Amino acid sequence: MTKNLFIAFEGIDGSGKSTQVKLLTQKLEESGHKVYATFEPTDSPIGKMIRDIFSGRMEADHKVIAGLFVADRLDHLLNKNNGVLKMLEEGYTVITDRYYFSSYAYHSPYMSMDWVIEANKLSAELLRPDINIYIDISAEESMHRIAKGRTSTELYETLDNLKQVKNLYAEAFEKLKDVEKIASINGERTEVEIAADVWKIVADL
Ligand code: ADP
Ligand code: TYD
């Protein structure tokens, strides 16, 4: 098994995940590491199907979406060209913007969280993150940032839903605290302050 780190960023929409992935990538590269930064939903055909559903170009039941994410995640790990497992073996530190905790939080309103965890069991067995870094912001702050005009996926972005997703993240972290490494960071500070906390966590690993 590889010794390179696999780091997953989690948080509700607009929490600052991609900003922090970028900053951490720079910092690790400056320290001499090879870094592969990636994200879910991926840009594979399955990920594209998910984005088409989010943007309203395609229609699908929430249970189908949860199933598509299971498949997208397995392809994210196992893809022969640029799968995460291959990149780790090639010596890259891998940072992902979202992994299976996103599924636990976003799909549990539509089926039991245990079902979602079970459905993602193969991914968890293939690769658990060395650390899940949760960037914690309120649903109100999330809506505020989304309204400021970034390109966004609309399906799950209402205040009530984001509140629910935030609560479900907390429930998932509590449920899995004995098997997963989880760090929660206050995301309602400057990007630089958050990045400093992220760096402390990663440097410890
Ligand atoms: P995510 O990937 O979680 O959706 P982004 O990194 O894209 O989040 O950030 C969402 C929006 O919030 C962007 O407009 C970004 O510039 C802004 N943003 C990121 N981090 C912060 C922060 N610490 N404070 C205020 N705004 C932020
Ligand atoms: P993302 O592109 O990371 O959006 P954002 O930058 O707003 O966080 O994710 C797109 C959406 O996909 C987001 O609303 C969360 C959702 N999602 C799920 O519903 N299940 C999942 O397993 C994942 C990885 C994401």
Cα 14 to middle of ligand 2, angstroms: 10
Cα 114 to middle of ligand 1, angstroms: 30
Ligand 2 in reach of 102 Cβ (< 6 A):
yes
CA distance 107 to 83: 24
* Fold of the domain spanning 6-204: Rossmann fold (3.40.50)
**CB-side neighbour CA atoms (13 Å) of 88:** 22
Please give the structure tokens belonging to residue 115: 């079902």
Q: What does the pLDDT read at residue 154?
A: 67
CA distance 58 to 53: 5
Using only C-alpha atoms, what is the Rg of the chain?
16
Cα 187 to middle of ligand 1, angstroms: 9
Main-chain phi, psi angles of 154, to 5 degrees: -95, -20
Digits of tens for pLDDT over the chain (205 positions)?
Answer: 447 999 999 999 999 999 999 999 999 999 999 999 999 999 999 999 999 999 999 999 999 999 999 999 999 999 999 999 999 999 999 999 999 999 999 999 999 999 999 999 999 999 999 999 999 999 999 999 988 866 555 667 889 999 999 999 999 999 999 999 999 999 999 999 999 999 999 999 9
Cα 41 to middle of ligand 2, angstroms: 6
Q: What does the pLDDT read at residue 148?
A: 84
Q: What does the pLDDT read at residue 151?
A: 52
Q: What does the pLDDT read at residue 81?
A: 96
Q: What does the pLDDT read at residue 41?
A: 98
Ligand 2 in reach of 106 Cβ (< 6 A):
yes
Cα distances (angstroms) measured from residue 143 to each of 156, 162, 167: 11, 8, 16
CA distance 142 to 11: 10
Sequence spans of domains, the chain: 6-204
Closest ligand to Cα 21: 1
Ligand 2 in reach of 40 Cβ (< 6 A):
yes
Q: What does the pLDDT read at residue 66?
A: 98
Q: What does the pLDDT read at residue 1?
A: 45
Question: Whose Cα sits closest to atom 22 in ligand 2?
Answer: 103
Q: What does the pLDDT read at residue 60?
A: 97
Q: What does the pLDDT read at residue 35?
A: 98
- SS3 for 97? strand
